[in-house]
Amino acid sequence: MVPVRTYWASETAAVLDLEGEVTLERQRRIWWLANLFRELPGLREVVPGMNNLTIEVDPLATDGARLLEDLEDGWQRSVAADTAVRQVEIPVHYGGGAGADLDVVAAHAGLSRAQVIERHTGALYTVFFLGFLPGFAYLGGMDPRLATPRRREPRLEVPAGSVAIGGSQTAVYPVASPGGWQVIGRTDTRLFDIERDPPALLRPGDTVRFFDAGSGS
């Protein structure tokens, strides 16, 4: 049994927290659980996180004590969500002006640039959840050898489409943002587009493959 904890993080946010390691199987149960609450009266947000789920409600329209119980009960009977697995291919221009920190990652890993690209394109990633910025996908599955600490001084602006590594994670910046991750390349694929429905390209459960679209300039 997975040790779980439910609590109010604030006046409005009820949380289910799983202890222990993050696995795809658990994330899939969290997505299943998230769907249980979409029709809750007074609901504001249902947000899967890494090994957790947050339900934000209007506290004056919801029975608070009951919600924590429902979260816990729901988890106990949850099953892995049967999400249709879509594979999304993302072309990346690695290195050069598009990926100024490719050498930093290579040096840290003790690999050549080509080897970094090979390992980054060689993995099959899974979207664990979206957060931070619109359409920003937290991906599981990066080769641990590529893990690189964040920059000591975050950049004031990381351009939209930047593909980066921060610690043991990799992601694409959907919009320009300040950021401390090591930028290794850039994609022209739009991860977030307000003209699209849904606006986010990726959703939890999708698998992602990066491929080398030629060097960045």
Partner 1 sequence: MITVLQPGMQASVQDHGRPGLRHLGVGLSGALDRLSLSIGNALVGNPPGAAGLELTLPPAQLRFESDCLVALTGADCPAQLDGSSVGAGRAIAVGAGQTLRLGEARAGARAYLCVSGGIDVAPVLGSRSTDLQAHIGGLEGRALRKGDRLAVGPAGLPASQAALRANGYAGAAPPAVVRLPQPGGAIRVLPGPEFEEFDGAAREAFLQTAWTVAPQSNRMGFRLQGPALTRANSRDMNSHAVFPGFVQVPPGGAPIVLMADAQATGGYPRIATVIAADLWRVAQVRPGGAVTFELAGREQAQGASQRQRRYLSRLQDGLDAHRSQR
State the Cα–Cα distance between residues 2 and 136, nearest whole angstrom. Answer: 28
| Options 174, 179, 185, 216; binder of partner 1; rule CB under 8 A | 174
State the Cα–Cα distance between residues 90 and 127, nearest whole angstrom. Answer: 13
Count residues near partner 1 (CB under 8 A).
43
| Options 40, 50, 81, 123; binder of partner 1; rule CB under 8 A | 50
22 binds partner 1 (CB under 8 A): yes
Residue (of 101, 117, 90) closest to 181 by Cα position: 101
State the Cα–Cα distance between residues 17 and 19, nearest whole angstrom. Answer: 6
185 forms beta bridges with: 94, 163
Residues 61-80 touching partner 1, rule: CB under 8 A, are 64
In the structure, how many helices (H) and strands (E) does the chain have?
4, 13
Closer CB to partner 1, 8 or 143, in the complex: 8
47 binds partner 1 (CB under 8 A): yes
- Cα 112 → chain centroid: 27
Contact region for partner 1 (CB under 8 A) — 42-50, 83-91, 144-152, 208-216? Answer: 42-50
Contact region for partner 1 (CB under 8 A) — 73-81, 90-98, 117-125, 197-205? Answer: 197-205
Token pair of 8 as six digits:
């109010």
Closer CB to partner 1, 56 or 101, in the complex: 56
| Options 91, 96, 134, 159; binder of partner 1; rule CB under 8 A | 134
In the complex, least distance from residue 134 CB atom to partner 1, rounded to whole angstroms: 5
Closer CB to partner 1, 12 or 148, in the complex: 12
Token pair of 40 as six digits:
């809750």
Q: Give the list of residues 6+ apart from residue 106 with CB closer than 8 angstroms, or none.
A: 112, 113, 115, 116
| Options 40, 104, 200, 212; binder of partner 1; rule CB under 8 A | 200
118 binds partner 1 (CB under 8 A): no
State the Cα–Cα distance between residues 23 and 184, nearest whole angstrom. Answer: 26
State the Cα–Cα distance between residues 143 and 105, nearest whole angstrom. Answer: 12
Binding site for partner 1 (CB under 8 A): 7-13, 15, 17, 22, 34, 44-52, 54, 56, 59-60, 64, 129-136, 138, 174-177, 192, 194, 198-200
